[in-house]
Amino acid sequence: MQADIGLVGLAVMGENLVLNMEEKGFTVAVYNRTHSVVEKFVNGRGAGKKIIGAKTMADFVKSLKKPRKVMIMVKAGAPVDAVINEVLPLLEKGDLITDGGNSLFTDTQRRVKELEPKGIHYMGSGVSGGEEGARHGPSIMPGGSKEAWEIVKPIFTKISAQVEGEACCRYMGTDGAGNYVKTIHNGIEYGDMQLICEAYDILRTVLGMSAKDMQGVFADWNKGELDSFLIEVTSHVLGAKDEKTGGALVDMVLDKAGQKGTGKWTLQSATELGVVASTINAAVEARILSALKDQRVAASKILHGPKDVKFEGDKDTLVKSVHDALYASKIISYAQGFALFGRAAQEYGWKLNFGDIATIWRGGCIIRARFLNRIKEAYDRNPNLENLMLDPFFTSVLDRAQSGWRYAVATAVQHGVAVPAFGASLAYFDSYRRESLPTNLLQAQRDYFGAHTYERTDALGTFVHTEWPHSL
Ligand code: 6PG
């Protein structure tokens, strides 16, 4: 028995991908640095299946059909390089390695440069969907040469999630394009999650709703335009009971978040490329602030919010406004993410297809949502769309949602509830849509103290310096 593909790294994502591949008809070889993990898997979850457990890397490589396909599912960074170095001497020209972890796209670019001259195809394939996705159909974002893509295409398209008969896996572009798309996916995931948390905070703090009440609101929202995996997750979480106290389990969860780095990478790239990613930025910073739990506990005794504010408006109107704020802010976050793709494609020479990206995010991945169909349609209408907000569908949604959006943000501010992602999204909308910004004053200030020159509105292209009055 020879394997169609081999997988290195049997943590839960790796195991589940193997079981998924096997179920779809492929024979899979597996290898793990600690052999007992392989034995446990082939005799346990993998028992009786077309899975070959290899004892050594040499046995593993020998068990693969040519051209050999090796998928790496280990921690991003040095462990990936360690596996590459171990397997490389055993491979021959035409074989392929693909890394399915959350790798930094520049690492993938470096690895492609090192391996392609040796005749080894190298791909960075972002995989999203958590444990469930890996087991039953993830969204896969492969990057590398076109030739390499053709080699893995039959397997990847078969094991990925399928939406309306289409695989949630398409070729993203050369070298690090797949990892880049996955990184931005994660940045957007951070944004979506933070926006949901802000909606939750307004409902519980301003309206005093219980987790159970909010569970109903989110379940309701999941039936409409916000229909998505993360809204569904939220309603399930809010409905879960704590066995110990009998109350809502979410109320017992410590408000202190961790992060593994993909949100930060999104921001680093946005800054580097000069693109605004303010919704994602707010999400990353909200996690950073949340982690300062001890400082916040101490500060809560010293710094006080607004006194004697009581919500006296209509509850249903505020709930509806929070819905609109969530939907509009989400559109802004995706508009920023796709604008980032546009700049990155120019910078790195990738032919990123925005419609394809929206298509493969419709199923399998963490940010899967009905609204991705609307994004796909927008890029079908105009593949060169400069900003998602300018698509007629999204323009009309923003127009319709903005009064509720403003009301929700204003109410939160009045009540001392922080809504950094709602606010940053609204500020982006209000800045982008205005012909005139206060930057005329900024340019004058720069010229005043640094002779940086400025451009006159009545003589574009002409930069002048003024000796501004130093006293009046
Ligand atoms: C996915 C997820 C997954 C993970 C991220 C974010 O697409 O399946 O994005 O990759 O959730 O690494 O994790 P952190 O929130 O810990 O940064």
CB of 189 sitting under 6 A from ligand 1: yes
Can you say whether residue 308 is alpha, beta or left, with left for phi > 0 and alpha for psi between -120 and 50 degrees?
Answer: left
CA of 313 to the centre of ligand 1 (A): 38
* DSSP reduced 3-state for 367: coil
**142, 127 contact by CB (below 8 A):** no
CA of 433 to the centre of ligand 1 (A): 33
Nearest CA to ligand 1 atom 1: 128
Q: What is the mean pLDDT of the chain?
A: 98
Nearest CA to ligand 1 atom 2: 128
Nearest CA to ligand 1 atom 10: 128
pLDDT attached to residue 63: 98
Percent of the chain scoring above 90 in pLDDT: 100
CA of 273 to the centre of ligand 1 (A): 23
Best of 103, 160, 262 to mutate for ligand 1, by most ligand atoms within 8 A of CB?
262
Neighbours of 92 (CB within 10 A): 12
CB of 192 sitting under 6 A from ligand 1: no
pTM, two decimal places: 0.97
Distance between CA 106 and CA 112 in Å, rounded? 10
Q: Which atom of ligand 1 is nearest to the CA of 133?
A: 8
User: How large is the average pLDDT for residues 89-115?
Assistant: 98
CA of 226 to the centre of ligand 1 (A): 21
pLDDT attached to residue 390: 98
CB of 283 sitting under 6 A from ligand 1: no
CA dihedral over 49, 54, 59, 64, signed as positive or negative:
positive
CB of 7 sitting under 6 A from ligand 1: no
- What pLDDT, in 10s, does the model give residues 191-212? 999 999 999 999 999 999 999 9
Alpha helices in 244-391 (DSSP H): 262-273, 278-290, 293-299, 315-348, 354-360, 371-381
Distance between CA 334 and CA 388 in Å, rounded? 8
> Which residue has tokens 């572009």?
173
Task: State which H helix or E strand residue 465 sits in.
Answer: none
* DSSP reduced 3-state for 72: strand
What backbone phi and psi angles, to 5 degrees, belong to 249? -65, -35
Distance between CA 134 and CA 154 in Å, rounded? 17
pLDDT attached to residue 211: 98
CA of 231 to the centre of ligand 1 (A): 16
Judge residue 119's burial from the number of C-beta atoms within 10 Å of its C-beta, 0-12 exposed, 13-18 middle, 19 or more buried: exposed
Distance between CA 125 and CA 307 in Å, rounded? 52
Cα angle for residues 67, 75, 250 (degrees, 5° grid): 130
CA of 334 to the centre of ligand 1 (A): 17
Q: Which atom of ligand 1 is nearest to the CA of 102?
A: 10
What backbone phi and psi angles, to 5 degrees, belong to 98? -130, 140
Neighbours of 69 (CB within 10 A): 24
Per-position DSSP letters for 335-364, written without gaps between them: HHHHHHHHHHHHHHT----HHHHHHHTSSS
pLDDT attached to residue 364: 97
- Is the pLDDT score of 372 beyond 90? yes
Q: Is the peptide bond before 67 cis (omega within 30 degrees of 0)?
A: yes
CA of 67 to the centre of ligand 1 (A): 31
**32, 46 contact by CB (below 8 A):** no
- Is the pLDDT score of 161 beyond 90? yes
**Residue 188, both tokens:** 């957007």
Nearest CA to ligand 1 atom 9: 186
**pLDDT range class, residue 1, cuts 50, 70, 90:** confident
**Residue 40, both tokens:** 């446990």
**Residue 104, both tokens:** 């930094």
CA of 129 to the centre of ligand 1 (A): 9
Best of 125, 366, 368 to mutate for ligand 1, by most ligand atoms within 8 A of CB?
366
- What pLDDT, in 10s, does the model give residues 374-390? 999 999 999 999 999 99
Task: State which H helix or E strand residue 194 sits in.
Answer: helix 177-201
Nearest CA to ligand 1 atom 15: 259
**264, 283 contact by CB (below 8 A):** no
- What is the torsion angle, in degrees rounded to the nearest 10, for the CA atoms of residue 427, residue 430, residue 431 and residue 435? -170
CB of 233 sitting under 6 A from ligand 1: no
Q: Which atom of ligand 1 is nearest to the CA of 130?
A: 8
Return the amino acid letter for 413: V
CB of 128 sitting under 6 A from ligand 1: yes
**59: Cβ contacts below 8 Å, ≥ 6 apart:** none
- What pLDDT, in 10s, does the model give residues 313-345? 999 999 999 999 999 999 999 999 999 999 999
Residues annotated as catalytic are 182, 189
**89: Cβ contacts below 8 Å, ≥ 6 apart:** none
Mutual angle of helices 420-432 and 315-348, in 10-degree steps: 70
CB of 260 sitting under 6 A from ligand 1: yes
User: How large is the average pLDDT for residues 92-119?
Assistant: 98
* DSSP reduced 3-state for 411: helix
Q: Kindly list the structural domains of the chain, giving each domain's residue range(s) and its CATH number in brackets, ordered by start.
A: 5-175 (3.40.50.720), 182-432 (1.10.1040.10), 437-472 (1.20.5.320)
- What pLDDT, in 10s, does the model give residues 415-447? 999 999 999 999 999 999 999 999 999 999 999
Mutual angle of helices 262-273 and 278-290, in 10-degree steps: 140
CB of 183 sitting under 6 A from ligand 1: no
Distance between CA 237 and CA 131 in Å, rounded? 17
Return the amino acid letter for 315: K
Best of 186, 193, 288 to mutate for ligand 1, by most ligand atoms within 8 A of CB?
186
Distance between CA 449 and CA 464 in Å, rounded? 14
CA of 186 to the centre of ligand 1 (A): 6
Nearest CA to ligand 1 atom 7: 128
Percent of the chain scoring above 70 in pLDDT: 100
- Is the pLDDT score of 233 beyond 90? yes
